[in-house]
Structure 1
Amino acid sequence: MASILENVKTLLSLKDNEQDKLLEVIISNTQSRLLGLLPPEYTEVPTKLNYIVEDVAVKRYNRVGAEGMSAESVDGRSSTYQANDFDEYLDDIERLFPDESKNKKGLGVFY
């Protein structure tokens, strides 16, 4: 099975190792941010969520140099960026890791 770095490089059509350090930082930061969305018992991103890490890492790589911008236009090409890279994956995360505090039934005491 290919590593996350190899998959991201394939998605970006990068054939050499010149961008590996940058991609490793982006992947590491993406994993850390994703862990913040998972239940606290997770210390590593589960393998089944690697697709999120890969997709978000590609987005982040494509935005290098445009950090902090919500949109940019270069040579007639316009790009608009999401405010949160994980927004489109929140439903998947909630489905795989439901917030147990929302599902707990209360205990009623009647006098």
Structure 2
Amino acid sequence: MLQQIKTLLGIQTVEQDAVIEQLLETNRVLVSAYVRVPELLVESEPLLRNVVIEMTVERFNRLGAEGLNKEVIEGHERNFTADGLLGRHLPVLELYLSQQGETAPKRRLRTL
């Protein structure tokens, strides 16, 4: 997954590998906890794997901008959603759960 993420980010060196690996591990744990499957299964299920990759790319791009909702620099505007780490990926994770005959957890997973 590391190489896929680096390709999506346009990174060709190894300087950011440790940061990407840490984000990847965190996202793998979050997805695993939400869908209640072992972490190894997250990597082998294409739907879950893609969610982890997308989350990692998004979180990498937000490094240094944690807590911001909006940033404007020289007319260039960046808007960040405030819907948590799983945010826009919840429908995909819930689709996975429904395909497995399960329902989404009653509580929402929150991270600090």
Q: Give the TM-score, by structure 1 length.
A: 0.76
Query: Residues of 2 paired with 1:101 and 1:73: CA distance?
Result: 40
Q: Secondary structure at the match of 2:2?
A: helix
Q: Secondary structure at the match of 2:34?
A: coil
- Asked if residue 8 in structure 1 is aligned to residue 37 in structure 2, the reply is no
Aligned equivalent of 2:38, options 38, 43, 51: 43
Query: Residues of 1 paired with 2:43 and 2:20: CA distance?
Result: 20
Give the structure 2 partner of residue 87 of structure 1.
87
Tell me the CA shift for residue 46 of structure 1: 4.5
Structure of higher RCO (CA pairs closer than 8 Å, 6+ residues apart): 2
Runs ≥4 in structure 1, deviation > 6 angstroms? none
Deviates more, 1:22-31 or 1:83-92: 83-92
Gap regions ≥5 residues in structure 1: 103-111
When you count helix as a share of all residues, which structure comes out higher? 2
- The percent identity for this pair of structures is 28
Give the structure 2 partner of residue 65 of structure 1.
64
Query: Residues of 2 paired with 1:75 and 1:20: CA distance?
Result: 30
Gap regions ≥5 residues in structure 2: 105-112
Q: Give the TM-score, by structure 2 length.
A: 0.76
Aligned equivalent of 1:22, options 16, 19, 23: 19
Q: What's the Cα RMSD here? A: 1.9
Q: Secondary structure at the match of 2:77?
A: strand
